[in-house]
A and B are shown apart, each in its own frame.
Chain A
Amino acid sequence: MTDALQFLLSGIVVGSIYGLIGVGFTCIYNVTGIVNFAQGDFAMVGAMSAITLLAFGVPLPLAVLLAVIATCLVAAVIERTAIRPVRSDVVRGIIVTIGIGVILHGVAALVWGTDAQPMPAFSGDAPLRIGGATIAPQALWVIGTALAAMIALELLFRKTFLGQMFRACAINPFAAGLVGIRVGTMSLISFIVSGALGAIAGIVVAPIALTQYDSGLQLGIKGFVACIVGGFGGPIGAALGGILLGILEAFAAGYVSSGYKNAIAFVLLLAFLLFRPGGLFGDMEKVRG
């Protein structure tokens, strides 16, 4: 029983990470209709920048702030130079964002080397006990951040004027342009917000999982699985999908085999894509081939 509780807790923590990345995906997708395959690399860039700044003796809050700003800048540059020319074409959009992921990953290998980098926890390392299970204080930061990001983004999309403009761009960019919405600017803003979300996710997670130049791909794919499971398009769905995936993975690693842990996530992805491509909370019509 203690085992199960432990798996559940660590599943929720890991799932929150996936959810955070997934929320970043939905942000860009909801505005541009593009799935950004470099989303996980935003997290890597954010975490690596924060680690470097900390190593130079910058205090933690300032380091986090600067790292987030740096990642936003990277995201903005990417949107202006690479995404803009291919906006309408799905296949080319996919290939371009993959290419960007590869570039970020190669540059990171050059700048930060190929070694995994640790980051100190925000509030100490003394584990907290819940029932018979233990949980690191950093895990609470992860869960809290995921919840905050999910709620903030949901409010942004549903309740603000900016959110309405965002959704208008996703539904019909041409019509949105006709009523005076600057579609290009909206796309830029969505990339910046998504870069910030990715960076925050990477930084919050860094003390738990080591960050490496190539950790972006895995994170990105897991985040996408989270989106699929939850139904593409909604931040709440993405976050819940992430947590579900995390719990499933934790139990699979605990009771089946840790080597196959990653495969399970992808089997889940395939199963959802094939039998319920709209996800748990989404609609089916958009994705059918």
Chain B
Amino acid sequence: MIRMLLLLATLAACTFAGSDYAVSLAVVIGLQALPALGLTLLTGYTGQISLGHAAFYGLGAYGAALLSRAIGISPLPGVFLASLLVGGIAWAIGWLVFRLKGHHLAMATLAFGIIVQIAFVEMHGLTGGPNGLSGIAPLSLFGTDLITDAQVLPIVWGALILALLLAQNLIASPVGLVMRAIAEGDRVVGSLGNDVAAVKRKVMMLSGFLCAVGGGLYAHYVGYLSPGPFDVGFSVRLLLMVALGGFANVWGVLFGVAFVTLVGEALKPLGAFDVIAYGVLLVVSVIFFPEGLFAGIATPIAVQVRRLKKGIAR
């Protein structure tokens, strides 16, 4: 509860501080947090790795854009509809790939991601190929177009906060317990009478849905799509965000997204250094901070503080 209030306060501060840069950063973080949250549910809580989540983000983006162009459906219902479709696709992909585990699952999802990206590049008629798709209508609410970042921010973060609450509830529910048990070892869970494969597929579906919501909002926010942002690099970056957040941690992933985005912004002027930084962060956080970067740094400090306090009390 406190965390939610803190989050709302930060967002309000961003909006009213009048800094366009801060607001646009907040929007970008919100847009990436949706797929990252989806991946947290799958990889963090359920223990199933995916290297193809950029594909769901991309499918959501192209889906929403094409729906609004072809049928003229207004953006927000369009995003929702496209996300439902992508959720269905994710379920089907889950049905295919969850016969596998470990390295093979990683490679199968990676292959799926690359196939989808190749399709984005090659299907000129539908996606515009490498030239991309331009002139996507801006988001609108009750007939008013939302053009500025400050207008888009409440929509994006509204969707994200809804998703956060949903994820929290899911994890606290019996299904959430099953998910975490699957991450520990699915044989035992199956022997207790749970349909492991069905749970994995449903988590994949929800995960794909969240990715697609992020992607659809992104499409309407930037108004222009090209296959570039939906490559394997983005899937790896999502994994980095989840790793920095400490895998099974809904709030941690928010920190991970913000951290990766800010590091990327800070290193942008230096050229290729951001890629190296991502790689180093990924390796370091997985080896040294399995609970996430934030917990990894905060916990030892908290322990020291407690020790100091005890010393003073004595």
Contact = CB atoms under 8 A, between A and B. Distances in A.
B108 interface: yes
A90 B278 CA distance: 21
B100 A287 contact: yes
A277 interface: yes
A263 to B, nearest CB: 4
Given A95-B239, A266-B114, A102 B275 contact: yes
Interface in B47-87: 47, 49, 51
B103 A98 contact: no
Contacts of A259: 118, 121-122
B279 A102 contact: yes
A221 B110 contact: yes
Interface stretch (B21-29, B158-166, B282-290): B282-290
Given A95-B286, A289-B98, A221 B276 contact: no
A288 B101 contact: yes
B279 A103 contact: yes
A106 B100 contact: no
Nearest to A102: B279
Interface in A135-173: none
Contacts of A102: 236, 275-276, 278-279, 282
B199 interface: no
Nearest to B231: A217
A271 to B, nearest CB: 10
B273 interface: yes
Q: How large is the interface on A (under 10, 10 to 19, 20 to 34, 35 or more residues)?
A: 35 or more
Contact of A107 (B100, B186, B197, B276): B276
A262 B120 CA distance: 13
B283 A99 contact: yes
Contacts of A280: none
Contact of B108 (A82, A85, A98, A270): A270
Contacts of A85: 287
Given A266-B118, A288-B99, 20 more contacts: A35-B103, A95-B49, A98-B282, A99-B281, A99-B282, A99-B283, A99-B286, A102-B275, A102-B276, A103-B276, A104-B279, A109-B272, A262-B114, A262-B118, A270-B96, A270-B112, A273-B107, A274-B100, A277-B100, A288-B100
23 contacts: A37-B106, A85-B287, A95-B282, A96-B287, A100-B283, A102-B276, A102-B279, A104-B279, A110-B272, A217-B232, A221-B107, A228-B104, A257-B122, A263-B114, A266-B114, A267-B115, A273-B111, A274-B108, A277-B104, A287-B100, A287-B101, A289-B101, A289-B197
Interface of A: 35, 37, 82, 85-86, 90-92, 94-96, 98-107, 109-110, 114, 217, 221, 224-225, 228, 257, 259-260, 262-263, 266-267, 269-270, 273-274, 277, 287-289
Interface of B: 43, 47, 49, 51, 96-108, 110-112, 114-115, 118-119, 121-122, 186, 197, 232, 236, 239-240, 243, 271-273, 275-276, 278-283, 286-287, 290
